[in-house]
């Protein structure tokens, strides 16, 4: 069983990433960040009570995957429910930059590591 990251440890990761952000990336982050709140993701997020959502832009959420220890971007249709599970192990500044690039250039523009796969 995995344990969810504490809000204090999550803020440490956010503050560390903010120190690395500059210019338009930092300004963009300041626009999309939210007070961290637990969002559900089925089935992977159930055990830890959900994952921490930290930023919103349109119908996309930036969230922390504490199973894989990294920030990810996913779509959502319903507020509070992460649609797709990703297991990137990125520091926060990277998905913020990726989301800004999507807005500026359109399309996906980045790779994501998918959910666990069964080994045959």
CA 102, 15, 116, 61 torsion-angle sign? negative
Whether the predicted pLDDT of 41 surpasses 80: yes
Query: pLDDT tier at 87 (50, 70, 90 boundaries)?
Result: confident
Query: What pLDDT is recorded for position 1?
Result: 64
d(CA 19, CA 120): 43
Place of tokens 């920030």: 71
Which residues, in sequence order, are CB contacts of 90 under 8 Å at separation 6+? 70, 71, 72
- Average of per-residue pLDDT values in the chain: 88
The tokens of 97 are what?
A: 């930059």
Cα–Cα distance list, 120 to 52, 56, 101 (Å) = 32, 37, 37
Please tell me the pTM assigned to this model.
0.86
Q: Percentage helix, strand, coil, to 5, in the chain? A: 30, 25, 45
Confidence at residue 108, expressed as pLDDT on a 0 to 100 scale = 61
- Give residue 21's pLDDT band: very low, low, confident or very high (50, 70, 90): very high
Per-residue confidence (pLDDT) for residue 105, from 0 to 100: 84
Q: Is the pLDDT of residue 104 over 90?
A: no
Q: Report pLDDT for 119.
A: 55
């Amino acid at each position: 069983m995995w344990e969810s990251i504490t809000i204090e440890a999550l803020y440490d990761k956010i503050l560390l990433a903010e120190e690395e952000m500059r210019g338009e990336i930092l300004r963009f982050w300041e626009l999309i960040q939210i007070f961290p709140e637990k969002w559900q993701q089925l089935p992977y997020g159930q055990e830890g009570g959900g994952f921490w959502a930290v930023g919103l832009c349109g119908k996309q959420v930036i969230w922390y995957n504490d199973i894989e220890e990294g920030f990810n971007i996913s779509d959502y249709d319903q507020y509070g429910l992460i649609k797709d599970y990703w297991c990137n192990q990125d520091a926060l500044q990277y998905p913020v930059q990726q989301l800004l690039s999507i807005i500026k250039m359109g399309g996906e523009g980045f790779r994501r590591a998918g959910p666990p796969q069964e080994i045959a």
